[in-house]
Amino acid sequence: MEAAHDSPLLRLLYDLAKAFAARLELDELIPFVIAKCRDALDAEGVSILLLDQERNELYFPYVSESDPEVARRLGGFVFPADRGVAGAVIRSGHGEKVDHPQSDSRHYSEVDRRTGVLTRSLLAAPLISDEERLGVIEAVNPRNREYFTDADLDMLERLAESIAVAIQNALRFGQIKVAERRLQGQIGALRRELSRHDRFAEIIGVSPAMAEVFPLIESAATSFITVLIEGETGTGKELVARAIHRTSARADGPFLAVNCAAMPEALLESELFGHRRGAFTGATDDQLGLFRAAAGGTILLDEIGDMPAAMQAKLLRVLQEGEVTAVGDTRPRKVDVRVLSSTNRDLKAAVKAHAFREDLYYRLAAFPIHLPPLRERREDIALLASRCLEAAAARHHKRISGLDPEALELLTSSNWPGNVRELQNEVERAVALARDGDSIKVGDLSPALRAFTPRTPATAENFESRGAEPMAPAASPLRLARASFEARHIAEVLARCQGNISHAAKALEISRVALQKKMKEYRLR
């Protein structure tokens, strides 16, 4: 009798072994396995329930039912791992045959209610490999007979041993694939970043306006709070985000940035949260998405104010629950990533105009950092221009001896609506025009900049000529005023000397050591 029973079982095990060797991905392996088991047991349905140990839940990723609608209703369904016959089987580590489940107190009737199918006979066997409990395989309702037999349970338990090993191998293979996709996502994002790499190695600023920003960056780096970086286009918002990441506890993790305004909604969701194979036309493989690719690190959501309303709701759930759901998937995945965001829009005004979710705004703006425009930090222009000049000269393979005083004055006087980025482009153009060995002269600057009328100093005579009272000077301690003047003067001299410390020290009539101390004191290096 046993030999007769073992014969079809051995044939089935042989077929499964071939399938295990040919299929390493769960999406391909398990549907084949449960279809074979359903045929072997002549059951209405067979399903595999996997154990989510982090949540202590059982879920149905794979179901084989005679009625496709029943399989659809079970897809993605989860319930506590301590409930039902499945939960009892996981705890005991032994299979069970249950006739009349409706009268068994352990039966989880919610499954019947959800599917609309009455369970009259049930088989359940644990999936255990290397002493790790992976889940349960269940068969329900034999066809053409009332109940399953003990022989059926014996067959399912034997199959479960092989299936558990195959699932564990597939899970490990899946983890390798996930790690590979995460690495590919990081590499892809980093390559995109390198293609438009920042042209400053650090944030530059000696102005009072920037002096207020540096402590905020330091405070943000030492906490896990969500940070909203606000500022006009070209003020260096991404540079600040990188500085926060680089000086935080997550510095060893990846830093990934995505421009929320540059992608349509459907593509943005896939880019951020990932997608499952077959979720849409062209989705030929699973993709993790940037949130999971940035695991252990930081993600910057640039131009967050332009995110579509539907995506705002999905992002809010990510921030609240700490989990993402890929496009085409039914199960959320936990993510360990710090979220920074940036915008050039007035999000408070957008909230009032109902163009941006208020609840999302307060989630993102727990720690706002406002970057001043370049016109409010003119003290920094000379040093910024010097850094731009040095980098541009290297790219153009030219020796540029610095900026003429008239050219530097014009740069310093401009309002720079495009901020640092516009200044960078202006210097790049000037270097391209200048001859090798020359300095940058006013004639090398763009016509638009040369047509700009420098601001007139606000003197008492100017006010009196307009019939106005002289403006009282802003109250400022002498020590701070002196330091501000000294920092500006040193920055201008360094700019004229193209950053050459020896030449600048000679021009300032101080030693190299003294100049280097001043540069460190005023954050000029």
pLDDT in tens, 311-330: 999 999 999 999 998 888 87
Please give, one letter per residue, the 3-state secondary structure of 22-48: HCCCHHHHHHHHHHHHHHHHCEEEEEE
CA pair distance 407, 416, nearest whole angstrom:
15
Q: Are strands 255-259 and 298-302 parallel, antiparallel or unpaired?
A: parallel
Radius of gyration of the chain (CA): 33
Cα 63 from Cα 486, distance rounded (Å)? 74
Q: For tokens 């019939």, what's the residue?
A: 467
**What is the average pLDDT across 463-477?**
39
Beta bridge partners of 50: 59, 135
Per-residue pLDDT at 402 exceeds 70: yes
* 404 close to 442: Cβ distance less than 8 angstroms: yes
Provide the 3-class DSSP secondary structure of residue 149.
coil
For the beta sheet containing 121-129, the strands, ordered from the edge strand earlier in sequence to the opposite edge, are 78-80, 57-65, 43-52, 132-142, 121-129, 96-99
Residue 365 is given by DSSP the state T
Tokens of 23: 């299929």
37 near 156, Cβ under 8 Å? yes
Q: What are phi and psi of 286, to 5 degrees?
A: -65, 140
Residue 379 confidence (pLDDT) above 80: yes
**Of the listed ranges 191-200, 302-311, 465-474, 497-506, the one predicted with least confidence:** 465-474
CB within 8 Å of 144: residues ≥ 6 apart: 42
Judge whether residue 372 has pLDDT over 90: yes
Q: Report the pLDDT value the prediction gives residue 364, as an integer from 0 to 100.
A: 95
Q: How far is CA 72 from CA 20, 44, 46, 198, 389, in A?
A: 25, 15, 13, 49, 63
Which candidate, 330, 435, 289, places its Cα nearest to that of 71? 330
In the structure encoding, which two tokens stand for residue 248, read together?
């935080």
DSSP class of 523: T
Return the sign of the alpha-carbon dihedral for residues 416, 420, 422, 427: positive
Q: Is the pLDDT of residue 339 over 90?
A: yes
Longest Cα separation, the chain: 117
Q: Are 302 and 189 in contact (CB under 8 A)?
A: no
pTM of the shown model: 0.58
Is residue 92 within 8 A of residue 169, CB to CB? The reply is no
pLDDT of the residue at 10: 66
From the centroid of its chain, how far is CA 80? 30
SS3 at position 99: strand
Give the mean pLDDT of 99-112.
Answer: 86
C-beta atoms surrounding 63 within 10 Å? 23
pLDDT tens digit string along 52-79?
A: 888 888 887 766 555 677 767 776 678 8
pLDDT band of residue 377 (cuts 50, 70, 90) is very high
Q: Tell me the one-letter amino acid at 56.
A: N
Neighbours of 195 (CB within 10 A): 7
| Rounded Cα distance, 192 and 183, in Å | 14
Domains, in order of start, for the chain: 2-174 (3.30.450.40), 198-372 (3.40.50.300), 375-521 (1.10.8.60)
The answer to whether 505 touches 491, Cβ cutoff 8 Å, is no
* CA separation for the pair 321, 333 (Å, rounded): 10
Dihedrals phi, psi of 309, to nearest 5 degrees: -60, -40
Model confidence at 461: pLDDT above 50: no
Alpha-carbon separation of residue 255 from 28, 178, 299, 499 (angstroms): 34, 18, 6, 30
* Amino acid, res. 406: E
Distance in angstroms (rounded) separating the CA atoms of residues 199 and 195: 11
Torsion angle of alpha carbons 274, 279, 281, 284, nearest 10°?
Answer: 70
Residue 83: count of CB within 10 angstroms of its CB: 16
Q: Residue 203 has what DSSP assignment?
A: -
